Amino acid sequence: MENNKESNETLELKKIVIGYLRQWKLILGVFIFAVILGIIYLIIIPRTYEIMARIRVQDMNNSGQGVSLGEAAGIMQSFGIGSGSSATINIDDEISTLVSNKMIRQMVLELGLNMNYMKPGAFNYKMYKESPLLLTSDSATAMAIMDEIQFKVNIDSRGAATVKMKSGRGSKTMSFSSLPAVISIPEGNVVLQYRKDKVYPYKMKIKMLPVSWVAEGMANDFLVEEYSKASTVIEMTCQDYNRQRGKDMLNTLINDYNKNATDMKNSDAQHSLDFINGRLINVTNELSNTENEIKAYKTKNQMTDIEYDVQFYANEMQELQSKIIELESETHLIDIMNSYIKDPTNKNSLVPMLIAENGGELSSSPLAAYNNKLLERSSLMQSAKKNNPLIIQADQQIDKMRESVKTSFANSQKSIKLALGELKSKENLLMSKMGSVPSVERDYVEMKRNQEISQGVYLVLFQKREELMLTLGQQKNKAVILDDAFVKMKSIAPRKLYAAIGVAVFTIVVPIFILMFMALFRSLRSEYKREKSSC
């Protein structure tokens, strides 16, 4: 019985196959139709290419150490006040910045991609630099456009141009004796001109789109991803049917990214430089006043060289004086940084790190963490608006961290005051033993100490100013180009293999459905006739 069943199934299958092959005319017709569709696909779909570029993101912040003032700097570091930036590169933030609407809008404006030059006689093909006509506008006018504007240009054999402008607000026809021509639109003026040589007669359709629309559509066309988790290399790819336009888009996007990063770095450095220049003026005035006091005091008391006069206690007090000067200098520098962070105008500005620990950075200090948070906020501001929840959250965290930094300053001041109290007690003890030393000499020592304190603060501020000026003068790009934009060898569309597979599937599937439909139709028709005859 099983053999009979298998034999019956084989006969049924042969019957189906033979019945299917008898419909060879239908199959041939469907095949020809599928081939025509495949040819239309290969003709209509423009050849699309994949363009790639690679960059390596590097830290633009100087990681060098600040100026050390000796052993007293250790006290400052214990309270989180030190130099050096420990900010690391967040690749996700950099990727978000690269494909942000702001960056793509900037690229669209530079390349004029908001103007679509439709190739005459082609199906939705947009020309790039090969377009004989050029429609331009200033950036303010381009950004003000909120709806699509179409221009139908007709240049006759004499060079006269007729432009029909159409938008959501209506249509308008204008005539010009020749090009270039200034076309007035509600948002401003646009200029229609020849790109290179004059071409007429000629007809062309140009679409002017809002820049934000173009940027929004292009954001999905860019694939930006990290090369690996352990590197700072970013791969950027895009797809376009114009190879030169794809290369220009990637290269321009990288250049704009570098330019924006450099502008932001220079802005922060210039702000800090202005602050330090103001403090240098005050310290210079203090130092000048102290020197004049010393000069007048020595003249009044007929003093020549007090160092030799007090040689008998100089060796004992040398180390003590050095520590007192260092602590006093630290106090002045803390006051400078404290006044900077309390100034409302510096709310979102990096706090200059004027004190450093000898031999290393302090990556976990409150001040370093506060500056890192400000850098993160600056990166977010490039790809988000002020009312974005991430910006609001970052502002709240910065406010809390600012209070922590102020507390660190206060704790440092208390610690320094305690240390100074102990040192001055020892100094008073030594001075009390010098009963033979005239009070004139003690007054001179005090004035000399004030002079050295001002000199120490001046040297710190002066070196920090030189570092900032060096930063402003450096031509360092944030993105190092590893591979300029290049076009991959194989195009990604249209695919001949896909067309062949489509023809094969269409040829097999469609006849089956047609035959099934015809069988069903015949069955229904016979059933209908039976029902009708029985009635």
Q: What is the dihedral of CA 16, 17, 21, 23, to 10 degrees?
A: 20
pLDDT score recorded for residue 73: 44
pLDDT score recorded for residue 307: 56
CB-based contacts of 280-287 (< 8 A; 24+ apart in sequence):
280/458, 280/461, 280/462, 280/465, 283/454, 283/457, 283/458, 283/461, 284/458, 286/454, 287/451, 287/454, 287/455, 287/458
Give the residue from 262, 244, 413, 430 showing the smallest Cα distance to 327. Answer: 413
Percent of the chain at pLDDT > 90 equals 3
Question: What are the residue ranges of helices labelled H in 178-242?
Answer: 211-219
Taking residues 27-33, what's their average pLDDT?
76
Does residue 204 fall inside a structural domain? no
Helix (H) or strand (E) holding 76: helix 73-78
Same-domain check for residues 275 and 413: yes
Same-domain check for residues 280 and 384: yes
pLDDT score recorded for residue 84: 45
Taking residues 15-34, what's their average pLDDT?
71
What is the rounded CA–CA span in Å between residue 217 and residue 108?
A: 11
* 489 token code pair: 């060898």
Residue 209: what residue type?
L
Taking only the tens place, the pLDDT of each residue in 43-91 is 666 677 888 899 888 877 654 444 444 444 444 444 444 444 444 678 8
Least confident of 20-24, 39-43, 309-313: 309-313
Same-domain check for residues 371 and 415: yes
pLDDT score recorded for residue 419: 85
- Reported in sequence order, the residue ranges of 103-255 that DSSP labels E, i.e. its strands, are 115-118, 126-127, 133-137, 149-155, 161-167, 170-176, 181-185, 188-194, 202-208, 222-226, 233-240
What is the rounded CA–CA span in Å between residue 79 and residue 407?
A: 9
Residue 108: what residue type?
V
158 SS3 class: coil
Of 456, 481, 506, which one is at a domain's C-terminal end?
481
Taking residues 452-474, what's their average pLDDT?
78
DSSP state of 125: P
Taking only the tens place, the pLDDT of each residue in 98-108 is 888 888 889 89
Same-domain check for residues 382 and 349: yes
Taking only the tens place, the pLDDT of each residue in 137-182 is 988 888 888 888 999 999 988 889 999 998 888 888 999 988 888 9
**Whether the predicted pLDDT of 310 surpasses 60:** no
What is the rounded CA–CA span in Å between residue 305 and residue 294?
A: 12
pLDDT score recorded for residue 440: 64
Same-domain check for residues 295 and 427: yes
What is the rounded CA–CA span in Å between residue 505 and residue 175?
A: 54
Q: Which residues contact 155 (CB under 8 A, 6 or more apart)?
A: 161, 162, 179, 199, 200, 201, 202, 203
What is the rounded CA–CA span in Å between residue 263 and residue 269?
A: 10
Peptide bond into 201 cis (omega under 30): yes
Same-domain check for residues 447 and 361: yes
Helix (H) or strand (E) holding 336: helix 311-342
Taking only the tens place, the pLDDT of each residue in 241-290 is 788 888 898 899 989 888 888 888 887 777 877 888 888 888 888 778 87
pLDDT score recorded for residue 164: 92
Q: Which residues contact 69 (CB under 8 A, 6 or more apart)?
A: 326, 329, 330, 355, 456, 460
Structural domain including 304 reads 56-96+259-481
Does residue 141 fall inside a structural domain? no
Q: Which one has a higher pLDDT value, 502 or 62?
A: 502
Beta-ladder partners of 383 = none
Give the residue from 277, 286, 303 showing the smallest Cα distance to 443. Answer: 303
What backbone torsions phi and psi does residue 164 show, to the nearest 5 degrees?
-105, 115
Does residue 138 fall inside a structural domain? no
Same-domain check for residues 296 and 373: yes
Does residue 165 fall inside a structural domain? no
pLDDT score recorded for residue 82: 44
Domain count, the chain: 2
What is the rounded CA–CA span in Å between residue 380 and residue 398?
A: 14
Does residue 223 fall inside a structural domain? no
Number of Cβ within a 10 Å radius of residue 88: 11
Residue 527: what residue type?
E
What is the rounded CA–CA span in Å between residue 471 and residue 308?
A: 45
Same-domain check for residues 452 and 306: yes
Number of Cβ within a 10 Å radius of residue 370: 22
pLDDT score recorded for residue 36: 78
**Whether the predicted pLDDT of 507 surpasses 70:** yes
Same-domain check for residues 511 and 458: no
Question: What are the residue ranges of helices labelled H in 191-305?
Answer: 211-219, 243-300
Average pLDDT, the chain: 76
* 482 touches 233 (CB < 8 A): yes
Same-domain check for residues 7 and 71: no
Does residue 248 fall inside a structural domain? no
Q: What is the largest CA-CA distance in the chain?
A: 146
What is the rounded CA–CA span in Å between residue 152 and residue 171?
A: 11
Give the residue from 250, 212, 210, 215 showing the smallest Cα distance to 51. Answer: 250
* 107 touches 53 (CB < 8 A): no
pLDDT score recorded for residue 496: 66
Does residue 136 fall inside a structural domain? no
Question: What are the residue ranges of helices labelled H in 164-236?
Answer: 211-219
DSSP state of 85: -
* 427 touches 352 (CB < 8 A): no
**Whether the predicted pLDDT of 19 surpasses 50:** yes
Question: What are the residue ranges of helices labelled H in 343-438?
Answer: 366-383, 389-432
Same-domain check for residues 472 and 500: no
* 269 touches 508 (CB < 8 A): no
What backbone torsions phi and psi does residue 208 show, to the nearest 5 degrees?
-110, 115
Same-domain check for residues 386 and 286: yes
Exposure string for 140-154, b = 16+ CB within 10 A, e = fewer: ebbbebeeebbbbbe
Taking only the tens place, the pLDDT of each residue in 377-396 is 777 777 767 777 777 777 77
Does residue 514 fall inside a structural domain? yes
pLDDT score recorded for residue 417: 85
**Whether the predicted pLDDT of 330 surpasses 80:** yes
What is the rounded CA–CA span in Å between residue 405 and residue 366?
A: 6
User: 70 in the Ramachandran plot: left (φ > 0), alpha (ψ -120 to 50) or beta?
Assistant: left
